[in-house]
C-alpha cells in the first residue's frame, strides 16, 4: 500500500469517526478541510475498509458504533469501583450485545422458533397437494 493510500485510509477513519458521532457531512467538511464530495468518498472508503457495501452501509455504521460502545463499556467495567458501578456496566454491556445480536439477525424470539418448527412438522406430515405423496 502506498503512503498516499495509508494517508487516505487514516483520513477516512477520522471522517468516519466524526460521522458516527453524529456530525453531518457539512460539519465534517469544515472540521477536516475537505469538500462535501471528498467527505462522501472518505466515508465510502472507510465503509469499504470495514466491509460495508451499498445497502449494508447503514448496518455497517450501526455495527461499528455498537462495537465502539461495547469497548467503552468494558473499559468502564474495568475501572468500576463499587458493586453498583460494576452491575450498571454489566447491564450496559449485555444490552449493547443484545442490540448487536438483533442487528446481525442472531437473536430470534423462542416463540417464533417454536412456531416455525411446528409449521415445518405440519408440512412434512401433510401429503403433497401436487404430487399426492
The 10s digit of each residue's pLDDT in 52-94 is: 555 577 788 888 888 889 999 999 999 999 999 999 999 999 9
Using CA atoms of 50, 46, 97, 99 in order, give the dihedral in degrees to the nearest 10. -110
The 10s digit of each residue's pLDDT in 12-24 is: 999 999 988 888 8
Q: Which residue stretches of 21-132 are H helix? A: 25-32, 36-50, 57-79, 83-103, 110-125
Which cell is 24 given? 453531518
Instruction: Identify the sign of the CA torsion 78, 92, 50, 18.
Output: negative
Q: Please, are residues 82 and 101 in contact by the beta-carbon 8 Å criterion?
A: no
Amino acid at each position: 500500500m502506498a503512503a498516499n493510500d495509508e494517508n487516505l485510509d487514516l483520513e477516512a477513519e477520522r471522517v468516519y469517526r466524526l460521522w458516527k458521532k453524529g456530525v453531518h457531512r457539512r460539519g465534517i467538511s469544515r472540521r477536516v478541510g475537505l469538500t462535501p464530495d471528498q467527505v462522501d468518498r472518505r466515508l465510502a472508503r472507510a465503509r469499504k475498509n470495514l466491509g460495508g457495501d451499498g445497502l449494508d452501509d447503514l448496518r455497517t455504521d450501526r455495527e461499528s458504533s455498537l462495537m465502539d460502545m461495547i469497548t467503552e463499556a468494558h473499559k468502564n467495567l474495568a475501572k468500576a469501583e463499587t458493586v453498583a458501578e460494576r452491575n450498571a456496566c454489566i447491564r450496559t454491556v449485555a444490552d449493547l450485545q443484545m442490540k448487536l445480536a438483533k442487528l446481525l439477525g442472531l437473536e430470534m424470539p423462542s416463540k417464533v422458533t417454536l412456531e416455525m418448527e411446528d409449521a415445518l412438522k405440519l408440512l412434512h406430515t401433510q401429503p403433497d397437494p401436487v404430487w399426492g405423496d
